[in-house]
Amino acid sequence: MKNTTSPGKSNTAVLILLILGLSTIAFPLYLTVVIAFKQPSEMTNSISGILSLPKTWSLNNFREAMEVTDFWNSLKNSLLISVLTVGLSIILHSLMGYALGRNKASSKFYNFVYLFIVSGMFVPFAILMMPLAKQTAEMGLANWFGVILLYVVFYMPMNIMLYSGYLVNIPLALEEAARVDGASTWRTYWSIIFPIMRPMHATVAVITALAVWNDVMTPLVIMAGTAQNTLPLAQLNFQSQFGTNYNLAFASYLLSLIPILVFYLVCQKQILNGVVNGAVK
C-alpha cells in the first residue's frame, strides 16, 4: 500500500503477497483440471486423493462429457447467439446512439426517448422473465432467435449510453463536410461516423459478448421448451446425468470454460480495455 512511489525492497513484499493471492484463483482452476482428467477410481476420500495429479492424462472423460451434454450443439448455439447479438448490437445500438446522441440536446422528443431507453437499465430481469416467457411463446419466439432479440433489447440502454457519450467527442463538422459533398445522412453515417466509432464498437463487443456468453437466465427461461442448450445451460440441464461421477462433470465444466479462456488469452488487452471503458464511461 505504501510503495506506489518508492521502489525497493518493500515491492518484493507486495510481489510475494500478490503471488500468494493468486493461489486463490489458481487453486479452483487446478482442481477443475485434475478432477476432469481423473478416473472415478482415483478419487479417494482423502484430500491427497482428490488433489494429486491424475495417473494418466486421458481424454476419455472429455469424450464422454461431449456425448452426454451434446457439447458441439451447445457450443454452436452459444456461438451463434453471441456472434449475432454482438453484430446486431453494434449495428443497431450505434445507429440509435447516433440518432439520439445527435438530437437529444436540441429535441425534447429525442431526449425523452434517450432517457426512456437508458432508464431500462434499472429493470431487473426478474420482473420481465415471466411475461417474456409468455410473450415469446405467443409470438413463436421461444427459441434462440428470441433470445437474441431479447439480448439486443436488454443491452440497449447501456450501449446507447456508451455510443452517444462517445459521439460528443466527434465534431459535427465532419458530417457537414460530407453533406456539402452531397452525401445523404444515411451514407454519411456508414462512411464517416460508423468507422470513427471503432473504439466504442470494441468496447460494446467485449462487454456484450462476455455478458451474453455467460448468461444462464435468459436461455433458461426462453428456450426451456426447445431441446436446445447454450453451453452454460447444458451444464445446468445435464447436472442430474452426471450423478456422482464428478470426473465427468468437471470434464464438462472445463470444456465449457475453454472457449472463453482461449478468447481471453488471445484478446486480453481488448477485453480489459473494453470492460474498463464500459464501466467507467
Partner 1 sequence: MKHENDRKRTFLLITIPILALFICFNTIPLIRGAMYSFTNSRGFGSFEWVGFRNYADLFTDSRVGKSYLFTVKLALVTTIVVNVLSLILALGLNSKIRAKGFFRGAYFLPNILGSLVVGYIFNYFFTYILPALADMIGIESLRSSILSSPSRAWIGVMIVCAWQAIAMNTIIYISGLQTVPEDVYEAGGLDGATGWKRFRHLTFPLIIPFFSINMVLSVKNFLMVFDQIVALTKGGPSQSTESISYLIYNNGMAGGQFGFQSANAVVFFIVIVVISVAQMKFSSSKEEQL
Between the two ends of the chain, the Cα-to-Cα distance in Å is: 27
Query: What is d(CA 61, CA 190) in angstroms, rounded to the nearest whole number?
Result: 49
Binding flag, residue 32, partner 1 (CB under 8 A): yes
**Using the rule CB under 8 A, which residue among 37, 144, 166, 250 binds partner 1?**
250
Binding flag, residue 232, partner 1 (CB under 8 A): yes
Q: With contact defined as beta carbons under 8 Å apart, do 37 and 58 qualify?
A: yes
84-110 burial code (b ≥16 CB/10 A, e <16): bbbebbbeebbbbbbbbbbbbeeeeeb
Shortest spacing between CB 266 and partner 1, in angstroms: 12
CB nearer to partner 1: give 73 or 120. Answer: 120
**Using the rule CB under 8 A, which residue among 62, 71, 166, 213 binds partner 1?**
213
Shortest spacing between CB 278 and partner 1, in angstroms: 10
Q: With contact defined as beta carbons under 8 Å apart, do 36 and 60 qualify?
A: no
Within 134-163, the residues that bind partner 1 by CB under 8 A are 134-135, 149-150, 152-154, 156
Within 162-181, the residues that bind partner 1 by CB under 8 A are 179
Binding flag, residue 115, partner 1 (CB under 8 A): no
**Using the rule CB under 8 A, which residue among 1, 169, 181, 227 binds partner 1?**
1
Binding flag, residue 65, partner 1 (CB under 8 A): no
- Nearest Cα to 146, choosing from 136, 138, 155, 134? 136
Binding flag, residue 18, partner 1 (CB under 8 A): yes
Of 52-60, 64-72, 165-173, 262-270, which segment contacts partner 1 by CB under 8 A?
262-270
**Using the rule CB under 8 A, which residue among 81, 84, 96, 142 binds partner 1?**
96
Binding flag, residue 47, partner 1 (CB under 8 A): yes
Q: In Å, how far are 33, 122, 173, 264 from 142, measured between CA atoms?
A: 35, 24, 45, 31
Query: What is d(CA 265, CA 262) in angstroms, rounded to the nearest whole number?
Result: 5
CB nearer to partner 1: give 10 or 58. Answer: 10
Query: What is d(CA 272, CA 196) in angstroms, rounded to the nearest whole number?
Result: 21
> Exposed, middle or buried: residue 280 (CB in 10 Å: 0-12, 13-18, 19+)?
exposed
